[in-house]
Amino acid sequence: MLRFLVSLIIGLVVGLGIGLYLGWVRFPVEFVNSPASSLSQRYKDDFIVMVASGYLKDGDLGGAVERLRLLGVANIPAFVQEVTERYISNSQNADDISVLVALSESLGRLTPIMQPYRRITETGG
């Protein structure tokens, strides 16, 4: 009987490990109905590029900020700045960088590294 109990306990421990591995790693729960704040960084970045493009199209800064609230970020200007600088450092698409710089500048976050990507606006005269 003791032999059986010892084997049972060893089996339980081994089985528990296998079960946790399967449940957490191999076949983890796939969430649906997730908030946008839990999006992976890649998709958050893409979302910001889309919103920044929309801002350049319609010039609605308030609307852009309101859309970015969806990501659940506390400090939106700082977040846009961080994403923009990361895009520049990683040599991402120049057009994407350009729209991000425009949004970041409108949010008062123009840093020296962004200067070359600024859009030059012709002034009348």
Partner 1 sequence: MGDYETETGVPRRSKYRRPRREISWVGLLIGVALGIGAGLFYAWAVDTRVEYDTEPWQLKPSDRAQYIAAVALGFSYDSDLSRAIQRLVELRPQVDPIQEVADVACDLATTGYASTSSGLRAIRSMMQFYRLQGRSGCADSLIPFEDQATPQVVIDLPTPTPLPPASKTPTPESAVRPSPTPPRVIAPTVQPQSDYIIAAINTFCATGSSGVIEVFVQDFNGQGVPGQAVRVRWDEGSDTFFTGLKPERGPGYADFQMEAGKGYSVEMPGRSDPTSQPLVAAPCVTEGGDSAISSYRVFFRPA
Contact residues for partner 1 (CB under 8 A)?
3-24, 28-36, 38-40, 43, 46-47, 49-51, 53-54, 56-58, 60, 62-64, 66-67, 70, 89, 91, 93-95, 98-99, 102, 113, 115-122
Nearer to partner 1, 75 or 121 (CB): 121
Other CB atoms within 10 Å distance of the CB of residue 70: 14
Query: Shortest approach of partner 1 to residue 73 CB, angstroms?
Result: 14
CA geometry: angle at 107 spanning 103 and 112, to 5°? 80
Amino acid at the residue 53: S
Nearer to partner 1, 32 or 74 (CB): 32
Q: Specify whether the CB–CB gap between 100 and 116 falls below 8 A.
A: no
Query: Shortest approach of partner 1 to residue 75 CB, angstroms?
Result: 20
Residue count of the chain: 125
Nearer to partner 1, 34 or 75 (CB): 34
CA 124 to chain centre: 38
Q: Which of 60, 65, 59, 90 is nearest to 77 (CA)?
A: 65
Query: Shortest approach of partner 1 to residue 97 CB, angstroms?
Result: 9
Query: Shortest approach of partner 1 to residue 28 CB, angstroms?
Result: 5
